[in-house]
Amino acid sequence: MTSNIILIGFMGTGKSAVSAELASLSGWSAVDTDVQIVQQQGQSIPELFAEQGEAYFRKCETDVLAQVLAKEQQIIATGGGAVLAAKNRQLMLDNGFVVCLFANPETIVERVSHHKDRPLLAGDARKKVVNLLEERGGAYDFAHIKIDTTKLTVKEIAEKIWQAWEQRL
């Protein structure tokens, strides 16, 4: 397994915040696949979804994931839908330690309601979170470890992940 820690999980489970904390704890660089897509495409995520469509965004997501995973010693925060393509799941398992962050639906709704930059949650965010969580089912279950972020601080989560990485088989 190459030395990357890859954070997966539904929107609002804490991937970006934990990735920054874990990067400072480990000294590795923090990389966010959504940020890379926006930089490479020169459009925001809502613009990409509206103007190019979700399928185009998913293609960019796979391309960026492959580019990023060619390097090492990174804490990689992925978008919540990056797990949907089998090719992406394989790329992640082949190139890093995959950590799934999760939280209860109420916490997710509370966290995502502060931001308006998620096209899949536009409108009734509560309803969309519940539906998407159900639709995605066990899509995040391929991770090496899973952490419930509902009641933990960002620092506690980062420490747990670093400990698990150091103790991996």
**Considering the rule CB under 6 A, would residue 96 count as an interface residue with ligand S3P?**
no
Which residues, 6+ apart, have CB-to-CB distance to 162 below 8 Å? 22, 25, 26
**Considering the rule CB under 6 A, would residue 14 count as an interface residue with ligand S3P?**
no
Q: Judged by CB under 6 A, which stretch of 62-70, 78-86, 88-96, 157-165 contacts ligand S3P? A: 78-86
Question: Among 22, 64, 79, 96, which residue sits at the site for ligand S3P (rule: CB under 6 A)?
Answer: 79
- The nearest distance, CB 167 to ligand S3P, in angstroms, is 27
Chain-centroid distance, C-alpha 67: 16
Q: Judged by CB under 6 A, which stretch of 19-27, 101-109, 112-120, 147-155 contacts ligand S3P? A: 112-120
Token pair for residue 162? 């670093």
Read out DSSP for 149-161? -TTS-HHHHHHHH
**Considering the rule CB under 6 A, would residue 119 count as an interface residue with ligand S3P?**
yes
How far apart, in Å, are the Cα atoms of 64 and each of 37, 67, 93, 97? Answer: 7, 5, 16, 18
Q: Are 97 and 144 in contact (CB under 8 A)?
A: yes
**Considering the rule CB under 6 A, would residue 120 count as an interface residue with ligand S3P?**
yes
**Considering the rule CB under 6 A, would residue 98 count as an interface residue with ligand S3P?**
no
Beta-strand ranges (E) seen in the chain are 4-8, 29-32, 74-77, 97-102, 145-148
**Considering the rule CB under 6 A, would residue 34 count as an interface residue with ligand S3P?**
yes
- The nearest distance, CB 80 to ligand S3P, in angstroms, is 3
- The nearest distance, CB 169 to ligand S3P, in angstroms, is 28
Question: Among 5, 14, 80, 140, which residue sits at the site for ligand S3P (rule: CB under 6 A)?
Answer: 80
Q: Are 37 and 130 in contact (CB under 8 A)?
A: no
User: Site residues (CB under 6 A) for ligand S3P?
Assistant: 11, 15, 34, 45, 79-81, 118-120
